[in-house]
Structure 1
Amino acid sequence: MSFLEECWEEREEKAYKQIFGDTGLGIYPLSTEIFNRMNADAVDPRWLTHGVFKCPPTENRKTWAYITSGMSNPWEAESPEDYSGQGVEFLMETNEEEMWAVEVLQTLMAYNLLLFAGKIGDYPPLDYGNRVPLTLSAGIKTMMFTQPINFPKSFSIKSGRVDLLQVVGITPAELEFAKKASSDELKELIVTNTGGLFTSKDRVSVV
């Protein structure tokens, strides 16, 4: 087994199962159609091995969790580094099982892969505090990236560290608040008012 394969397996079979428990029936992989919607000039075949796991509730967690897998692949490395691959994976939480959560993370992951490859201008990859326009419903029109509160902020595999960036859908009023204050201040308001960082199509604005 290659270094890449060992690290890939360690992430999905050990780290993810320790953090999320059951990772579902399998991965929901990215497709060329997702990249086509972003007018991508070319798709790296390796990107189509990336995807999202849908993790059901456990004894210790009542929510559904959705976690990307692939951005932390050490494609170019043959030994440990500070961060594994891009050093991130994206996470979302919902109170009910939702297929749209998988689709949101697939879209954001594809977008981040294009950013990382420099195919969408000179912009850095997605990170904590970033807010991305993505309409989920009439009330939720933006996805905000923040540190999780119910999951570890990071984990390590033999190829390096991986940060977990949690995605939470926010309302237009919350977006305006975050622009004037900060994403961190909005995060605290959401947690205080709702008890967590759950994404819902019909969540009432906290501002």
Structure 2
Amino acid sequence: MGKYEQLCRGEGTGMTPRRQSRLFCRHSVLLLTLAEMEKVKELAKPRVSPNIGWSYAWLGAYEHPMVDKINQRIEDLTGLDVTMAEDLQVANYGIGGQYEPHLDYRQKDEPEEFEDLVEGNRIATWLLYMSDVPAGGATVFTEVGAAVRPIKGTAVFWYNLYPSGEGDYRTLHAACPVLVGSKWVSNKWIRERGQEFRRRCGLQEKD
């Protein structure tokens, strides 16, 4: 059985004390109000594009003041400039909905996609849970042995790139299958451009 399956089963693979000490606690307060989360779902539902096990929609800041307000809140909390960030992606996972282990950043062995990123690579990911999930639906990080259970109104944030700009393979993550209920999340992928004075650069490849 792979790490993905183990973590989804709640068995885990364990984390070293050093890695555990470097993790930040998730906010226990609502980062979005219930009314704001319901508004995001309302805006997304008419335009969701069905996929295997899940569906999604993109919301631009210009489409509704609520989306612009959420983008500003992400900027305030992360300290990163969201001007060049991608639109807010809203996703819904039904029963059995999941997403295999993947990296959010574009790797250098993907030359065509990498060259097209005029706003830079995805430096960071913001993932907000907009529903509780009675069973399943955790976000798992297979390389570090961590699992995050969806709790409505809370978010997970991580850097995909080292300060040097190199990709951090430890961010390999996946969405476990939803066993009971429905999982709503919103993602914000923040790009490198505009962060020059927001995050200090590093000279070492994996600084």
| Same fold flag (TM > 0.5) | no
By relative contact order (CA 8 Å, sep 6+), the higher-ranking structure is: 2
TM-score, length-scaled by structure 2: 0.28
TM-score, length-scaled by structure 1: 0.28
Give the structure with the larger helix fraction: 1
